[in-house]
Amino acid sequence: MAWWKAWIEQEGVTVKSSSHFNPDPDAETLYKAMKGIGVGSQLLSHQAAAFTFPSSTLTSVSPWGGHSRCIPAGTNEQAIIDVLTKRSNAQRQQIAKSFKAQFGKDLTETLKSELSGKFERLIVALMYLPYRYEAKELHDAMKGSRDDVSSFVDPGLALQDAQDLYAAGEKIRGTDEMKFITILCTRSATHLLRVKCTRNLHSYFAERLYYAMKGAGTRDGTLIRNIVSRSEIDLNLIKCHFKKMYGKTLSSMIMEDTSGDYKNALLSLVGSDP
């Protein structure tokens, strides 16, 4: 099945490893983006040297006459999007190591301190190792050791369990008995019924993305989780199913339902329309 894996890697992913990758300049770009270092701050320093201002405000001479308020350069969100959504997860981990080595700071914690809201949630999700992100999302979804404590059943977890059971039993010679025991003994009856849901994986995720945005409000957790987790696996294939099933592209629905840097980052991860 090596050919299938190679095909998926070429056709399915929307986020690929950057060619000629070097984590050091990427780390420096992120540092400057979050600290206002660069053209903006250099301009301000020259202005400050040329004019005397009241201590409470910083103003500059407007080219149209009079004075205008000069706002210090803040976070460059687009630079963050350009770097982190265009690198593979493995490359992001290298950038984080370089960031720590060069500037003595944890990249993820720095991102948290500089960003906010849904955009922060999305960007921070990109910085997790895939298995740690999945573990975090499962933990947040279940909120307990067994989900029949409440009526909530996470469809994503049910799908993963279905895949795990298949891999543990039918797919390979022999049976991974511990996997069966773990799932069958820690999931509720309602959840185990949902395990049967997987027949077409890409249609399933297309449906999840559609209903995350359909109607009033957006289920941002579902939207972020599915786009981040599938961007390096099969998001291009999911996009094709999305268009066939709903008559519109995934990116067009994201544009209608989200805004600002959050929208731009999602669209960068999703890539061009099929």
Is 257 flagged in the annotation as binding? yes
Q: Is the pLDDT of residue 71 over 70?
A: no
Hey, what amino acid is at 250? L
DSSP three-state, residue 148 = helix
Task: Write down the residue that tokens 């809201």 correspond to.
Answer: 117
Compute the mean pLDDT over every residue in the chain, rounded to the nearest whole number: 75
DSSP three-state, residue 60 = strand
| DSSP string for residues in 85-114 | TTS-HHHHHHHHHHHHHHHSS-HHHHHHHH
Task: Considering only CA atoms, give the Rg of the chain.
Answer: 23
Mean pLDDT of 89-109: 96
C-alpha distances in angstroms, 95 versus 105, 107, 197? 12, 8, 38
- How high is the pLDDT of residue 254? 96
Is 213 flagged in the annotation as binding? yes
- 124-160 per-position pLDDT tens digit: 999 999 888 877 777 776 654 433 334 445 666 666 6
Smallest CA-to-CA distance from 91 within 104, 105, 115, 107 is with 107
- How high is the pLDDT of residue 19? 85
Instruction: Give residue 170's pLDDT band: very low, low, confident or very high (50, 70, 90).
Output: low
Q: How many CB atoms lie within 10 A of CB 248?
A: 13
- How high is the pLDDT of residue 52? 40
**Token reading at 175:** 């049976």
- How high is the pLDDT of residue 101? 97
